[in-house]
């Protein structure tokens, strides 16, 4: 058996506890050896307040998985890469495209260091089969409806509605990560409408008008306000039938008939992929979903709605 990858988890919040820690514990390729957080702690391993303290401790570490909010993540990732560590980034991979490009260059300049910009929704059970089915189809149009209650999925996380927190694009980018993966062709934004709560720095709702190639319209309806019903659905109409992904990509339907899908789970699949990249000394950084979000902020028509409180 190959030697296990000594991993430190950075940022011990809701996503780390709900998804990362169970996935790491179930993967024999990794050994969790440390946690880094200003507030959260993980029992059974050394805990550090910041990445510098971890590096200075001399504790043997091969890789870090960063689960911090995107603003400020670049500095942590750059320090880790400079220390010779492999780096896995929770989505979105950073606060700006420029800083992630800089991390890519830094990783490429090193000796076998891996940088993995993750998109967990691409590993939902129905996504691979959806991509395969669409590969030889002509796309007529596609629609995304991604509507969820921010208070349920991000309780008390004020940072998400601050500048750089992405607001509704934090879940919306999951949908964009799926469509950029399954649709056969290049996706381009044509216009956007962004709704900001009064006094907040990030949108609580957004509508996107995109185009696949030069002909097929692709729309997106993102909203953080619904308490019920909530939906994480993608519909693609083709010349030979209609495909639907529901429940965030977990379930696949072709012409109204549900298809059998297989998978090990989104986060277990991410860590399996990270182990492959580390073993090969390669990186994986697809920034197309993030580029669409950046374009939405560039092109978006902004309106203001009522103040929002958690």
Task: Spot the catalytic one: 91, 137, 140, 193.
Answer: 91
* 12 Cβ contact partners less than 8 Å away, ≥ 6 residues apart: 35, 36, 37, 39, 40, 41, 42, 67
Task: Label each residue of 26-75 as H, E or C.
Answer: CCCCEEEEEEECCCCCCCCCCEECCHHHHHHHCCCCCEEEECCCCCCHHH
With beta carbons less than 8 A apart as the criterion, state whether 201 and 210 touch: no
Report the greatest alpha carbon distance in the chain.
Answer: 59
91 given a catalytic annotation:
yes
Of 245, 232, 234, 246, give the one whose Cα is nearest residue 148: 232
φ, ψ for residue 246 (rounded to 5)?
Answer: -120, 170
User: Which residues are marked as active site?
Assistant: 91
């Amino acid at each position: 058996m190959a030697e296990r990858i000594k991993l430190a988890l950075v940022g011990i919040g809701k996503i780390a506890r709900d998804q990362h820690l169970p996935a790491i514990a179930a993967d024999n390729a990794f050994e969790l050896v440390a946690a880094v957080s200003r507030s959260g702690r993980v029992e059974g391993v050394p805990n550090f307040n910041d990445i510098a303290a971890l590096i200075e401790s001399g504790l043997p570490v091969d890789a870090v998985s960063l689960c911090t909010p995107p603003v400020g993540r670049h500095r942590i990732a750059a320090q880790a890469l400079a220390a010779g560590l492999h780096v896995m980034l929770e989505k979105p991979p950073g606060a700006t495209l420029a800083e992630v490009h800089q991390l890519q260059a830094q990783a490429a300049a090193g000796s076998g260091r891996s940088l993995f910009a993750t998109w967990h929704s691409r590993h939902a059970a129905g996504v691979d089969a959806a991509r395969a089915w669409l590969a030889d189809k002509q796309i007529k149009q596609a629609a995304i409806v991604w509507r969820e209650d921010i208070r349920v999925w991000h309780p008390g996380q004020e940072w998400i509605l601050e500048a750089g927190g992405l607001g509704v694009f934090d879940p919306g980018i999951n949908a964009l990560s799926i469509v950029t993966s399954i649709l056969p062709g290049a996706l381009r934004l044509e216009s956007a409408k962004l709704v900001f709560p009064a006094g907040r720095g990030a949108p609580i709702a957004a509508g996107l008008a995109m185009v696949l190639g030069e002909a097929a319209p692709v729309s997106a309806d993102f909203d953080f306000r619904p308490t019920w019903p909530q939906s994480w659905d993608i519909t693609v109409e083709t010349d030979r039938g209609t495909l639907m992904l529901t429940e965030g990509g977990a379930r696949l339907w072709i012409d109204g008939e549900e298809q059998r899908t297989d998978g090990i789970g989104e986060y277990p699949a991410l860590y399996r992929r990270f182990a492959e990249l580390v073993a090969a000394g390669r990186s994986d950084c697809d920034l197309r979903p993030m580029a669409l979000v950046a374009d939405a902020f560039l092109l978006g028509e902004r309106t203001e709605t009522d103040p929002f409180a958690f």
